[in-house]
Chain A
Amino acid sequence: MDHRPQAWGRPRDDVYGAYDASYMNTNLPNQHTQSPIVTGTSVVAMKFKDGVVMAADNLASYGSLARFTDVKRLRTFADTSVIGFGGDVSDMQYLDRHLTELGIDEAYQSDVGGHNLNARNLHKYLSKLLYHRRSKFDPLWNHLLVAGMDEDDKPFLAAADLLGTTFTSPSLSTGFGSMLAQPIMRKYVPDEASVENITKEKAVEVIKECMKVLFYRDARSMDKYSLAIVTKDGVELSENKLENQSWAFADRIKGYGTQTV
Chain B
Amino acid sequence: MFRNNYDNDSVTFSPQGRIFQVEYAGEAVKQGSVVVGLTSKTHAVLVAIKRNAEELSSYQKKLFAIDEHVGLAIAGLTSDARVLSNFMKQQCLSQRLTYDRAMPLEKLAALIGDKAQLNTQHYGKRPYGVGLLVTGVDETGPHLFEFQPSGLTQEMLACAIGARSQMARTYLEKNLDKFADCGRDELVRHGLRALKETLVQDRELTVENTSIGVAGLKEPGKKALEVFKVHDGADVKDWLNSVADDAEAGGETTEGEGMQVDE
**Residues of chain A having any CB pair with chain B under 8 Å:** 109-110, 112, 114-115, 117-118, 120-121, 124-125, 128, 151-152
Contact = CB atoms under 8 A, between A and B. Distances in A.
Nearest to A120: B100
B139 A115 contact: yes
B203 interface: no
Nearest to A132: B98
B100 A110 contact: no
29 contacts: A109-B106, A109-B110, A110-B104, A110-B106, A110-B107, A112-B140, A114-B140, A115-B106, A115-B107, A115-B138, A115-B139, A115-B140, A117-B99, A117-B101, A118-B101, A120-B101, A121-B99, A121-B100, A121-B101, A124-B98, A124-B99, A125-B98, A125-B99, A128-B97, A128-B98, A151-B101, A151-B139, A151-B223, A152-B223
Interface string B93-131: 000011111001011001000000000000000000000
Nearest to A116: B139
Contacts of B106: 109-110, 112, 115
Nearest to B102: A151
Contacts of A117: 99, 101
Query: Which of B97, B106, B110, B138 has most A Cβ within 10 Å?
Result: B106
A188 B65 CA distance: 46
B109 to A, nearest CB: 11
Contacts of B104: 110, 115
Contacts of B97: 128
Contacts of B110: 109
Nearest to B105: A115
Given A112-B140, A115-B140, 6 more contacts: A109-B110, A110-B104, A112-B106, A114-B140, A115-B138, A124-B98
Interface pairs A-B: 9 shortest CB-CB: A124-B100, A121-B99, A115-B104, A114-B140, A121-B101, A128-B98, A125-B99, A124-B99, A120-B100
B140 A109 contact: no
Contacts of A120: 100-101
A185 B196 CA distance: 65
B236 to A, nearest CB: 33
Interface residues of B, number: 13
Nearest to A114: B140
A156 to B, nearest CB: 11
Contacts of B107: 109-110, 115
B137 to A, nearest CB: 13
B240 to A, nearest CB: 36
A260 B80 CA distance: 86
Nearest to B141: A114
Nearest to A113: B140
B97 to A, nearest CB: 7
A114 B139 contact: yes
Interface string B132-162: 0000001110000000000000000000000
B145 to A, nearest CB: 13
Query: Which of B99, B104, B138 has most A Cβ within 10 Å?
Result: B99
Nearest to A115: B104
A117 to B, nearest CB: 6
Contacts of A112: 106, 140
B238 to A, nearest CB: 34
A110 B106 CA distance: 7
Nearest to B107: A109
Contacts of B223: 151-152
Nearest to B97: A128
Contacts of A109: 106-107, 110
B112 to A, nearest CB: 14
B131 to A, nearest CB: 24
Contacts of A151: 101, 139, 223
A115 B104 CA distance: 7
A118 B139 CA distance: 11
B21 to A, nearest CB: 30
Contacts of A124: 98-100
Query: Which of A109, A115, A128 has most B Cβ within 10 Å?
Result: A115
Interface string B72-109: 00000000000000000000000001111100101100
A226 to B, nearest CB: 26
B225 to A, nearest CB: 11
A109 B99 CA distance: 15
